[in-house]
Amino acid sequence: TYIFINNKFVDETEGNVSYSDRGYNFGDGIYEYLRVYDGKLYTAKEHYERLFRSAKEIGLNLSEYTVEGLIDITKELVNKNDVQNGGVYIQVTRGVAPRNHPFPSEDTKPVFTAFSKSYDRPYDELENGVKAITVDDIRWLRCDIKSLNLLGNVLAKEKATQCDAQEAIQHRDGIVTEGSSSNVYAIKEGKIYTHPANHLILNGITRRVIHKIANDIDVPFIEEAFTVDFLKDADEVIISSTSIEVMPVIQIDDKIINDGKVGEITKKLQKLFDKSIE
Ligand code: PDD
C-alpha cells in the first residue's frame, strides 16, 4: 500500500514523521477526508478549497500546493492503490521545529501526508438508520476550521460508542451544533432545519450537496439554530458527512424518531444523493 508523504509516494511502512512535528506536539495542522466512488474522486475541488481556507485561517503556508495539483496527487494515490470505493485522508501540519508555541521560522516546510483506504458504502445503516446520543459541545469556538485538534470530537464519539450509538450530537446550552464527525438536520413539517454555517460548525461538503438537492426539489432548507427538544420532536432526523452520506437517525437518547422508520424526505434526499455520485 502506498502513502504520499513529503512529496513522495512511498510504501506505508516507510511513512515516518518526526517526534518534533507540530501536528504531533500541538495538533497544529489541518485535514480533509474525501470519498472515492467507482474509482473517481467525489467533490474533490470543494474539499481542497476548504483545505486552503482552513490553512489561511490558521496562517499555515500552503503556497507550494494548488487545488489542481492536490487533485492530481490524490488521483495518483487512488490509482496506485487501486481504490474503487473508499476514501482519502489528507493532513498538513505546520512542520517540524523545536517545540515552542509561536509559529516556527519562515523556512519551516509544512508536512503533508495522504493515505487511502478501500471500503463499501454503509448500505445497511443508510437503509435502516442509526442511533445517536446528545452530549455537551465542549470544543473551541473555531469549529469551522478542519483542524487536527479533535479531542472534543474524540471524547464525544467515544461516549456514543460506549452507549452503543453511532453518533454523538453536540449542543451548546441546549442549542444543537453538529455531530462529532457529521452535520445534523431536523426535518419538520416538510422543512429541513440545520445550524447556520458559522464558527460553531464545520461547513460540510455533504451539507452543501444536501442544500442544493433540497433547493432542486423545493424543500425549504432553513439555516437556523434549534434546541435538543426541537430535534427530538422532529418528524425525521438526519446526519451527514463524506463517509456516512445522508444518514437517517431513528433514535436520539431514549427518544424514538418517526416510529424508528426512515422518513420520506430522507429517502428522497438519499435517492438524489445517489444520483449525484453517478
Ligand atoms: N468529518 N462536522 C464535523 C465535526 C466533521 O468532522 C465532519 C466530517 C462533518 C461533515 O463534513 P463533510 O460533509 O465535509 O465530510 C461535519 C470527516 C468525515 C472526518 O472527520 O473523517
- Ligand 1 pocket test: pick from 30, 31, 33, 200 the residue with the most ligand atoms within 8 Å of its Cβ: 33
**What is the Å distance from ligand 1's center to 38 Cα?**
21
- The whole-angstrom separation of Cα 191 and Cα 133 is 23
pLDDT the model gives residue 6: 87
DSSP 8-class letter at 253: T
Kindly tell me if the per-residue pLDDT of 36 is higher than 90.
yes
Query: Do 154 and 108 belong to one domain?
Result: no
Q: Cα–Cα distance between 172 and 140 in angstroms, integer?
A: 11
Query: Going by C-beta distance under 8 Å and a sequence separation of 6 or more, which residues neighbour residue 89?
Result: 31, 32, 33, 114, 115, 116, 117
Among the candidates 96, 118, 140, a domain finishes at 118
Main-chain dihedrals φ then ψ at residue 181, nearest 5 degrees: -145, 40
Q: How much is the pLDDT for 73?
A: 98
- What range defines the domain where residue 213 resides? 123-276
CATH number at residue 72: 3.30.470.10
Residues 59 and 170 in one domain: no
Distance in Å, CA 157 to ligand 1 centroid: 13
Does any ligand 1 atom lie closer than 6 A to the CB of residue 89?
no
Are 134 and 175 within one domain?
Answer: yes
The answer to whether the beta carbons of residues 26 and 33 sit under 8 Å apart is no
Mean pLDDT of the chain: 98
Nearest atom in ligand 1 to 209's CA: 13
pLDDT value of residue 18: 97
**3-class SS at 136?**
strand
Q: Check whether residue 263 and residue 141 sit in a common domain.
A: yes
**Residues 19 and 98 both lie in one domain:** yes
Q: Is the same domain home to 265 and 142? A: yes
Instruction: Select from 176, 180, 183 the residue to mutate for testing ligand 1; criterion: most ligand atoms less than 8 Å from CB.
Output: 183
Strand order in the sheet with 29-37: 8-11, 2-5, 111-118, 86-93, 29-37, 40-41
State the average pLDDT over residues 77-106. Answer: 98
Say if residue 132 is in the same domain as residue 92: no
Same domain, 87 and 169: no
- Of 118, 134, 163, the residue that ends a domain is 118
276 alpha carbon – ligand 1 mean position (Å): 18
Whether residues 193 and 259 share a domain: the answer is yes
Three-class secondary structure of residue 150 per DSSP: coil
pLDDT at 128 (0 to 100):
98
pTM over 0.90: yes
**Stretch 5-32: mean pLDDT, rounded?**
96
Q: Ligand 1 mean position to 181 CA, how many Å?
A: 5
Q: What is the mean pLDDT of residues 7-15?
A: 95
Same domain, 72 and 203: no
Looking up residue 163, the CATH number of its domain turns out to be 3.20.10.10
User: What share of the chain in percent tops pLDDT 90?
Assistant: 99
Q: Cβ distance 151 to 199 under 8 Å?
A: no
* CA of residue 176 to ligand 1 center, whole Å: 16
Q: What is the pLDDT of residue 4?
A: 98
Q: Which of 45, 75, 146, 267 is catalytic?
A: 146
Nearest CA residue ID for atom 16, ligand 1 = 182
User: What phi and psi values does residue 272 have, to the nearest 5 degrees?
Assistant: -75, -30
Domain boundary among 118, 144, 178: 118
How is residue 83 written as a grid cell? Answer: 481504490
pLDDT tens readout for residues 232-242: 999 999 999 99
Predicted pLDDT of residue 28: 98
- Give the pLDDT band of residue 22 (cuts 50, 70, 90): very high
Check if the beta carbon of residue 128 is closer than 8 Å to that of residue 92: no
Which of 119, 93, 116, 157 lies closest to 34, judged by CA?
Answer: 116
State whether the beta carbon of 91 lies less than 6 angstroms from ligand 1.
no
Quick check: helix, strand or coil at residue 85?
Answer: coil
Pairing of strands 111-118, 236-241: unpaired
Q: 191 and 254 in one domain? A: yes
Q: 98-154 pLDDT, tens per residue?
A: 999 999 999 999 999 999 999 999 999 999 999 999 999 999 999 999 999 999 999
* ∠ Cα 62 64 70 (to 5°): 80
146 is catalytic: yes
Q: DSSP class of residue 33?
A: E
Tens digits of residue pLDDT in 207-256: 999 999 999 999 999 999 999 999 999 999 999 999 999 999 999 999 99
Q: How many domains does the chain have?
A: 2
The answer on 128 and 100 residing in a single domain is no
